[in-house]
Chains A and B, each alone.
Chain A
Amino acid sequence: MTTIETSTPLAVESSSPPVRPSASPGRVAFRQFLRSPSGVCGACLLILIVLGTAIGPVVYPVDPLDLVGGPFTAPSADAWLGTDYLGRDVLAGLIYGGRASLAVGAVAALITIAIGLTVGALSGFFGGAIDAALVKITEFFQILPPLLFAMVLVTLFGQKLTTITLAIGAVSWTSAARLTRAEFMRLRNLDFVKASRAAGAGDAYLILRVLLPNALPPVIVSATLAIGVAILFEGGLSFLGLGDPNTMSWGLMLGQNRNYVLDAWWAVIFPGAAIFLAVLSISLVGDGVNDAINPRLRRRM
């Protein structure tokens, strides 16, 4: 139905590269990620850890809360990684506790990013009074010491895994919000945003389709890292005795056995190592994501 038709085609400059179908930004970034050694190592390690917690019970069907033997049994054929101060199986604890720790990490990171993106996007897009108010709120949350604040929340609302997850999300979204706000402010003045507006784009389209996707790269990197931070956080809370006593997690194992580290190193070292490896693998993945996204950013700008 377009009536715009021009009869005489001009000689158009031939310098344009041919159209490659696989040039979508997501695929380009993924290929780049596969070229980052740290990213690939981290991803492999992380997949191993996740697989271990997923199929572990099949290979090693032991209930982590059962008392399988005497306390402080050294690693043996019966209990591969020994037992803890109550006589519970450490390996079973690692498997089931890993599920809880990783889930807390992932969900808390999601909450962190969801709050951070929303607050940062509204703040950076609308500016003015909305921005001023949201910045005040962000600053308020930022000056609270996060661990202390999370402890208060958990004490107030109960030592349950859901509360702990929400508390971690509630105390750690501020940096994602600031990051998103800064990106929105930078992007807001770019030509393609003005051009979209000039073509009649509404606020929702501008926020969701124009600004958000372009603001996402650094947020994705920080989201990856947020998972690791949340796992550490859960560990820290449990270590301080504020974990969920009814759900096995790496932090809980560490917290409950730390006083007996000289009698039974295995009950402390193994969960500690699990946390370390999980956080390490996530940081490596974050590194790889950063490598995958940033060269593209630089080329594009």
Chain B
Amino acid sequence: MSTLLKVENLSVGMRGSTGVVVPVLENLSFAVEAGRTMALVGESGCGKSMTALAIMRLLPEDFVVTSGRILLEGEDILSASPKRMRSLRGNGISMIFQEPMTALNPLFTVGDQIGEVLRWHSGVGLAEAEQQAIALLRAVQIPAPEQRVKAYPHQLSGGMRQRVMIAMALAGRPKLLIADEPTTALDVTVQAQIFDLLADLQKETKTAIVLITHDLGAVAELADDISVLYAGRCIESGDADSVVSHPCHPYTRGLLDCVPQLKLGPRPPQAWSDLAEIAGMVPPLGARGPDCAFLARCREASELCRSRLQPALEPITDDHAVSCWRKSELAA
């Protein structure tokens, strides 16, 4: 397996109105192997979308990368020219968004929108682009693609639009697909279909996937690797089976405790966002101290934790790393 994407010590900050840069992501490192799926998991606001946008170089205006490197096949995309970046987007990396209802241009047919991406990246003509768009719609299992290619987004249901989004994201034949909560806006049966579709497409195309989700059921099923984010920091990462079956960080354990019926299959996202078992909230931006970010909510916190800084992400086994001062005790 070769490493496709390598994120090294990535830090992102938000420039406030006063000019102070508030950290949003701190020292984030992870790698995505070619053809594999890595899940980014964490509560709302912990920085999952910002990680995705940083990789796409599409951070909102006030957000800046303060340090780190993002390597796509060894090429540092943080220093790529805007022109190079444009050709990487869609072709090297592409992204599907959380909200399929608003992620398509309402004024053009889905065929136009998919066809346009095909024309940028493979230089085909109009007629050929439409044929390929139909083939892509068929590949994402949209019924009657010859007709649907002429449909406007408002004529399609949410699930269909998300399929169109996936088709559009795959049109440039990316090596890496970032799926930012691709099913959160859909109902449960459709969610399962979309996850199945992603898994099927990955088998066909060997595209690596970064899957951002709240759905630990899907993570257990789809992901090869997991990184758990908390307050902009990676607190546990490693092989998916190992992290899900032997979570070591108290936060990951809390997350998994919130899904007692994990083995019964995917659960609605509501069950996730309450996080009934973990008291308190993610510290807001700017209120994060230098010590363990989870300290205030941690049931395992000891005097030791209070007297020290944020623990480093360190391996406990070959394929499993944890950022916690008490990891050895907890792992035991």
Contact = CB atoms under 8 A, between A and B. Distances in A.
A246 interface: no
Interface in B30-47: none
Interface residues of B, number: 63
Secondary structure type dominating chain A contacts: loop
B197 A10 contact: yes
Interface string B125-145: 000000010011011111110
11 contacts: A4-B201, A12-B159, A12-B160, A13-B157, A25-B107, A191-B103, A198-B58, A198-B97, A209-B108, A214-B105, A299-B154
Interface in A175-213: 189-192, 194-202, 205, 209-210, 213
Nearest to B106: A300
A210 B105 CA distance: 7
Interface in B131-182: 132, 135-136, 138-144, 147-148, 150-152, 154-157, 159-160, 165, 168-172
B261 interface: no
Nearest to A21: B150
A4 B139 contact: yes
Contact of A16 (B140, B160, B197, B205): B160
Contacts of B106: 25, 192, 214, 300
A17 interface: yes
Output the residue of A2, A23, A199, A202 with the most chain B CB within 10 A: A199
A25 B86 CA distance: 29
**6 nearest CB pairs, A to B:** A200-B90, A4-B139, A2-B135, A191-B103, A198-B95, A199-B90
A190 B107 contact: no
B105 A199 contact: no
A15 to B, nearest CB: 5
Nearest to A297: B106
Given A16-B156, A199-B172, A4 B58 contact: no
A11 B156 CA distance: 16
B107 A200 contact: no
Given A17-B155, A25-B152, A213-B107, A192 B102 contact: yes
Interface stretch (B14-22, B116-124, B229-237): B116-124
A17 B147 CA distance: 12
B205 A4 contact: yes
B2 to A, nearest CB: 21
Interface of A: 1-6, 8-13, 15-17, 19-21, 23-25, 127, 189-192, 194-202, 205, 209-210, 213-214, 299-300
B211 interface: no
A200 B60 contact: no
Given A12-B142, A198-B89, A209-B108, A191 B147 contact: no
Nearest to A127: B61
A12 to B, nearest CB: 6
Interface string B182-194: 0000000110010
A28 to B, nearest CB: 9
Nearest to B138: A5
A16 B147 CA distance: 13
B159 A13 contact: yes
A195 B200 contact: no
B83 to A, nearest CB: 9
Output the residue of A189, A200, A213 with the most chain B CB within 10 A: A200
A300 B154 contact: yes
A190 B102 contact: yes
A3 B204 contact: yes
A202 B140 CA distance: 26
Contacts of A210: 105
Contacts of A11: 193
A21 B146 CA distance: 12
A210 B103 CA distance: 12
B91 interface: yes
Nearest to B193: A10
B170 A4 contact: yes
A12 B193 contact: yes
Contacts of B96: 195
A16 B94 contact: no
B139 A5 contact: yes
Nearest to B207: A4
Contacts of B120: 199-202
Given A192-B105, A300-B106, 5 more contacts: A6-B141, A12-B159, A19-B144, A191-B98, A200-B120
Contacts of B121: 200
A189 B60 contact: yes
B204 A192 contact: no
